A and B are shown apart, each in its own frame.
Chain A
């Protein structure tokens, strides 16, 4: 299995909702990432987990809460988001210096 999968593919939520994004990999990679990407822009790093421990938090607002329950799963919990948080949220895993991306979740905040 050489894939990074993300669910859901699309998500529409109101500013008072709580939702979660899920990322799964079975490649045995021990580094996992969350990125946010606006249209036609490069991805912006949000969080890095290394061996299930949070190693980098790029000063992301607390309305985004990451969780790594095991080496195969990475979640991003969302609460009280703003319309400007609408973006493509990408998960990635790394083997050595190669990062592999999932297809992303397209999030729209109304």
Chain B
């Protein structure tokens, strides 16, 4: 079946890089997403990658996709305290517009 897994917690120092990892099982996934959720807020689409790409960069964010290993990562360069949030990985495995979500990684940035 479809499953998306993430580690639950990550703690980094301000200014360091953060790497959040995600694995998925559905090889037919077409798009993979990273969403950010700050406390008490909705979900913000940070970035997404199409399955025929292996890397996407957007300012401080770098997404790497290893389709063979079904592994997705999000690297945040120069992590700031404002990056503290829960980061959800999600995949879209079909045309029915449903997303399959990971449990979320809680990123804590220490000054």
Name the residue in A41, A99, A106 with the highest tally of chain B Cβ atoms < 10 Å from its Cβ: A99
Q: Specify which chain A residues have a CB less than 8 angstroms from the CB of B21 in the assembled complex.
A: none
Number of interface residues of B (CB under 8 A): 24
Compute how far the CA of A110 lies from the CA of B66 in the bound complex, rounded to whole angstroms: 47
Q: Specify which chain A residues have a CB less than 8 angstroms from the CB of B86 in the assembled complex.
A: 40
Complex contact A94–B97 (CB within 8 A): yes
Give the shortest distance, in Å, between A45 (CB) and chain B (any CB).
Answer: 6
The main secondary structure of chain A at its interface with chain B is strand
Give the shortest distance, in Å, between B41 (CB) and chain A (any CB).
Answer: 6
Complex contact A101–B103 (CB within 8 A): no
Question: Binary interface profile of B, 7-49, with partner A (CB < 8 Å = 1, else 0)?
Answer: 0000000000000000000000011010100001111110010
B residues adjacent to A (C-beta < 8 A):
30-31, 33, 35, 40-45, 48, 86, 88, 90, 92, 96-99, 101-104, 106
